[in-house]
Amino acid sequence: MSGSETSQQLFDRARAVSPGGVNSPVRAFRAVGGTPRFMREGSGSTLTDVDGNTYVDLVASWGPMLLGHARPEVIDAVREAAARGTSFGTPSEPEVALAEEIVARTPVDLVRMVSSGTEATMSAIRLARGWTGRDLVVKFAGCYHGHVDALLVEAGSGVVTFGLPGTPGIPSASTSQTLVLPYNDREAVAAAFAEHGAQIACVITEAAPGNMGAVPPLPGFNAFLAATCREHGALFISDEVMTGFRVTRSGHWGLDGAQEGWAPDLMTFGKVMGGGFPAAAFGGREEIMRQLAPEGPVYQAGTLSGNPVATTAGLTTLRLATDEVYARLDTLAITIQGLATKALDAAGVPHVVQSAGNLFSVFLGRTDAVVNFADAQDQSPEAYKAFFHTMLDHGVYLPPSAFEAWFVSDTLDAAALDTIEQALAPAARAAAQAMQS
């Protein structure tokens, strides 16, 4: 690689005007060290930084770019939409069409557009409390639902990456209304409802967590949550900001609920549905959603919600995300997992590779399956740091945190897979050396 001098210069400038030099914490590379790469452009499966280095991208903007960067059809649609005006402060046709597409793909009856996943989960929580007249929220350790006060307790993602307690700046009154349980633990859920059932407004969970690494729900766990909530008059909120329209055309619900015959009361969406633009949504059963203003008493609003450019990008992306695209994403994910396993086995690195649909993670320093947050923390940060930087030096951009999932795009070709394979062998050796020192 040609170095990171220009990235370093930009990082120095950024730190003078932004906390940590970034606008989202994991981007700062603090968990892995070194200089964060400032990207100049993306094309297909690759990113090119300001120093001219090109990388095979296995982050895909944390999920949205399942069709690759700068997909011509999406760019053309966005260009046409922007030429008509970037924001009106009024309803427009693209937001209606995107809502229709989401309703057609998922079990929700009605959808409300917002601008971020955090807004979606925050609004869903408010709606659940308004619908039930209750205050308590149940969440799971290691699940990240955005930087919502009540949901940042024992969150995954950047909070655990930086070892933060998760609650500074958050009133104790907010966190006191949140019950945090171990993920995949039915007994803990049953005990919480036995003690607090009449006060629990909702259970919120990532449909398949990707913010403590990829940690899939154990078979039947989501169905159990849906049934338990129904029994006690609480709402079940499935957070599909990350998995929605990424792992199947119907999100993770397409892998469990659609086949098992249950549906969440509320769902949250983001990332893919914005096609790379800031767009998100929440939706659910009609009688619940109609409690939102202007029809009902639960207030929620957003000036840029349903932005015509963002919704055009999302709609175009969803229409291009065919069954063939999802089949290719699955195949690519399986292939790369196999390559990683082969390289780590050859280097003698204890590891476990696991997936949730086409999201996957590599946990270094352990061999047992990761089923909860405590398991996810039982890995080797030093091994991942060495692994990450060696992959970066060999032209592969991974998540700069061991607590994040890897993402593929359907533009990964034979040359990209060869680059990944060639990088994995020295990266595995670097991880092995880090674990021995």
What are the mean pLDDT values of the chain's consecutive 10-residue runs (437 residues total)? 90 96 92 96 98 98 97 98 97 98 98 97 98 96 87 59 56 82 96 96 97 96 98 98 97 97 98 97 98 97 96 98 97 98 98 97 97 96 97 98 96 98 98 94
Same domain for 399 and 420? Answer: yes
Same domain for 106 and 230? Answer: yes
- 239 catalytically annotated: yes
Same domain for 263 and 203? Answer: yes
Same domain for 360 and 301? Answer: no
Give rounded-to-5 percent helix, strand, coil for the chain.
45, 15, 40
Same domain for 92 and 119? Answer: yes
Residue identified by tokens 């659940």 is: 128
Same domain for 20 and 143? Answer: no
The tally of CA atoms less than 13 A away on the side-chain side of residue 27 is 16
Angle formed at CA 117 by CA 364 and CA 373, multiple of 5 degrees: 30
Confidence (pLDDT) at 54: 98
Same domain for 127 and 231? Answer: yes
Taking every pair of Cα atoms in the chain, the longest distance, rounded to a whole number of angstroms, is 62
For the entire predicted model, the pTM comes to 0.94
Which of 49, 139, 256, 271 does the annotation list as catalytic?
A: 271
Other Cβ atoms within 10 Å of 163 Cβ, number = 9
> How many domains is the chain built from?
2
Which amino acid, residue 237?
I
DSSP state at residue 369: P
Which region holds residue 35: left if phi is over 0, alpha if psi is between -120 and 50, else beta? beta
Q: Using DSSP, how many helices (H) and how many strands (E) does the chain show?
A: 15, 13
Could you tell me which residues come within 8 angstroms of residue 422 by beta carbon, excluding any fewer than 6 positions away?
A: 394
Q: Write down which residue in 287, 320, 353 finishes a domain.
A: 320
**β-bridge mates for residue 178, sequence order:** 137
3-class DSSP state for residue 200?
Answer: strand
3-class DSSP state for residue 243?
Answer: coil
Which of 49, 51, 57, 239 does the annotation list as catalytic?
A: 239
Q: How far apart are CA 378 and CA 390, in angstroms?
A: 22
The kind and range of the H/E element at 284 are: strand 280-284
Same domain for 349 and 213? Answer: no
Nearest to 188 by CA among 372, 23, 316: 372
Q: Which CATH number is 415's domain given? A: 3.90.1150.10
Could you tell me which residues come within 8 angstroms of residue 288 by beta carbon, excluding any fewer than 6 positions away?
A: 127, 131, 235, 265, 266
Which region holds residue 271: left if phi is over 0, alpha if psi is between -120 and 50, else beta? left
Confidence (pLDDT) at 155: 56
Same domain for 288 and 338? Answer: no
Q: Which whole-number Å values give the CA distances from 393 to 32, 135, 349, 386, in the listed order?
A: 13, 49, 20, 11
- 299 catalytically annotated: no
Confidence (pLDDT) at 151: 80
Q: How far apart are CA 89 and CA 322, in angstroms?
A: 32
Q: Which CATH number is 166's domain given? A: 3.40.640.10
The domain of 253 spans: 72-320
Decide: 127 and 341 in contact? Cβ < 8 Å.
Answer: no
Confidence (pLDDT) at 162: 39
Same domain for 24 and 79? Answer: no
Q: Write down which residue in 252, 285, 320 finishes a domain.
A: 320
Confidence (pLDDT) at 164: 45
Q: Write down which residue in 271, 302, 320 finishes a domain.
A: 320
Same domain for 334 and 315? Answer: no
- 265 catalytically annotated: no
Q: Which long-range contacts (CB under 8 A, 24 or more apart) does 26-29 make?
A: 26/157, 26/158, 26/161, 26/399, 26/400, 26/401, 26/404, 27/400, 29/400
Which of 144, 326, 384, 397 does the annotation list as catalytic?
A: 144
3-class DSSP state for residue 300?
Answer: coil
Q: How far apart are CA 433 and CA 271, in angstroms?
A: 36
Same domain for 316 and 330? Answer: no
